[in-house]
Amino acid sequence: MRLTRRCLLASATAPFLLRAGAARSRTPHRGGVLVVAADTEPRNLNPALVASNGVFYVASKVIEPLAEMAYGEPGFTPRLALGWQGSPDGKSFTLRLREGVRFHDGRPFTSADVAYCALELWKKHQNLGRVFFVDLEAVETPDPHTAILRFAAPMPAQLIENALPALTAVVPRHLFEGTDPLANPHNQKLVGTGPFRFVEHRPGQYYRLERNPDYWDAPKPHLDGIVYRVLPDRGAIAAALEAGEIQLAAFSAVPLADMQRLAKLPGIAVIDRGYEGITYLVTVEINHRRKELADVRVRRAIAHAIDPSFVVERIFLGHAKPAIGPIPRFDTRFHTADQPTYPYDPKRAEALLDEAGLPRGPNGVRFSVELLPAPWFEQTRQMGDYLRQALKAVGIEAKLVVKDPAGHQKAVYTDHAFDLAIGSPVYRNDPAISTTILYQGGLPPGVPFSNQYGWADPAMDELIARAARTVHPAERAELYRRFQRIAAEQLPLIPVVEFTFLTVASTRVHGVADNPRWAVSNWAETWLDA
């Protein structure tokens, strides 16, 4: 599927939007520093190791992938790769690389950098790549501008192409080879090939990037620099926009209620494009090591206790849709509606809990859990408050445990110190890139945003492996329909709603939302009015 206007998820008809993009036929102005909001500070900023939107938001301006997503056909824009071709048997994928590209320290970019990153970083350490590239066995470099990925088992060319934007960030081999990549200082002091150079990070204050004068796509970028002001408070972000202290806030960083007010102000626009390629789910993550939660009847009861329509209307103010399974509905290649669903029904939830041998005690409580809402978004935090109330109504007492981003990630994905958590996994245009990792068993502790729930099903693991290796698109689609049915029957985690984001920006900012991953792309086309 190629993303078009028909793929917009939920916000295109929202009443307070002023514009659905930023396309205006004017000559870009050169100069100016764009000041934007950043509400988190990832410990590791290297996207070759951590493929997540919090990392991409800053790092994608400095470190580039092999290709980026695009609206319309063919659906991709070349970055460090100019072209690519898969073999008929699915066991090789040839990349033709861009010539004349240099890293920010002046060293040339070559196929050796791609080979190193693929084998030593993406395959061994990257949170998504260590599953995606598990069958990558070699990378041949017949010349400095050709890299041939060799796989031990068939790897669909469609799947590799879909993964290029998110999973193939290239860092310089000469700065990482021979080091512990996880402790390398260039995970924070980034060096890449992108339109902007990393200058400094002052914790709690800002990240600062400056224009790369030697960028391969000259005369871009148009901006002289980008400053990310660290503003973890959403209300402070709205106030900074209104005061003109920042010019842009991405990822719905402004509370949705404030957007309605800001959109009415002169000089401010709310933009509903630029996120279609990174659709999110709100999920209830479940620690199956807990005896009560290992019972599928209890998981189904929790699902029946949740009212997705309430979440859509009250938490997302209409900018979301109830989820039907782990694959968003917009991806008609893979999504199926033919799967079990659990409509809001507290009485059915109570009956299932009784059936599971968990009656209400004298105080009305069946059992207690610790609930950790993800701190990434305002909506995930609010979902924690809502779920606590929804569970209380059916006799489950939930204690909210709120941590900072680093503490939450460690508790859920390394220490497994949770009963329930609110997650927000992202769908990256193919189930094998970022969705099946939530259901695949046997992953070692510490892999963020993956199945760290203690749930394992050999049949599901075998299905995931087959789907990832099936070359024929129609056969892949059928396997993923089966995957969704098993996921819905067993509910290792509970999808609640699917959503994308909004950007709030000064009308001085141009070149916004020009691709389906704009917020996490390189911003070479972005510019400011004089």
Which ranges in the chain are annotated with CATH 3.10.105.10?
A: 277-499
Q: What pLDDT sits at residue 152?
A: 96
Over residues 152-156, the mean pLDDT reads 92
Q: How confident is the model at residue 10 (pLDDT cuts 50, 70, 90)?
A: very low
Q: How confident is the model at residue 213 (pLDDT cuts 50, 70, 90)?
A: very high
Quick: pLDDT tens for 51-103: 988 999 999 999 999 999 999 888 899 999 999 999 999 999 999 999 999 99
Query: Structure pTM?
Result: 0.78
Q: What pLDDT sits at residue 121?
A: 98
* DSSP string over 29-55: PP--EEEEEE----S---TTT---HHH
Percentage of the chain lying above the pLDDT 90 cut? 80
Quick: pLDDT tens for 277-307: 888 999 999 999 999 999 999 999 999 999 9
Model confidence at 9: pLDDT above 60: no
Model confidence at 1: pLDDT above 70: no
Fold of the 277-499 domain:
Dipeptide-binding Protein; domain 3 (3.10.105)
Over residues 117-128, the mean pLDDT reads 95
Model confidence at 408: pLDDT above 60: yes
Fold of the 62-173 domain:
Dipeptide-binding Protein; domain 1 (3.90.76)
Neighbouring C-alpha atoms within 13 Å toward the C-beta of 256: 20
CB atoms within 10 A of CB 267: 12
* DSSP string over 183-238: G-GGGTS---SSSEEEEEEETTTEEEEEE-TT-TTTT---SSEEEEEE---HHHHH
DSSP type of residue 27: P
Per-residue CA distances from 104 to 48, 190, 433 (Å): 17, 9, 29
Peptide bond into 308 cis (omega under 30): no
Over residues 132-161, the mean pLDDT reads 95
Model confidence at 228: pLDDT above 80: yes
Per-residue CA distances from 479 to 89, 333, 335, 469, 471 (Å): 19, 11, 11, 11, 12
Which ranges in the chain are annotated with CATH 3.40.190.10?
A: 5-41+203-275+501-528
Q: 527: phi > 0 → left, psi -120 to 50 → alpha, else beta; which? A: beta
Quick: pLDDT tens for 428-474: 889 998 799 999 999 899 988 899 999 999 999 999 999 988 998 89
Q: What pLDDT sits at residue 354?
A: 98
Model confidence at 417: pLDDT above 60: yes
Q: What pLDDT sits at residue 202?
A: 96
Fold of the 5-41+203-275+501-528 domain:
D-Maltodextrin-Binding Protein; domain 2 (3.40.190)
Which ranges in the chain are annotated with CATH 3.90.76.10?
A: 62-173
Model confidence at 264: pLDDT above 50: yes
Distance in angstroms (rounded) separating the CA atoms of residues 468 and 327: 15
Over residues 481-495, the mean pLDDT reads 97
Model confidence at 13: pLDDT above 80: no
Model confidence at 382: pLDDT above 50: yes
Q: How confident is the model at residue 19 (pLDDT cuts 50, 70, 90)?
A: very low
Q: What is the mean pLDDT of the chain?
A: 92
Quick: pLDDT tens for 313-348: 999 988 899 999 999 988 888 999 999 999 999 999
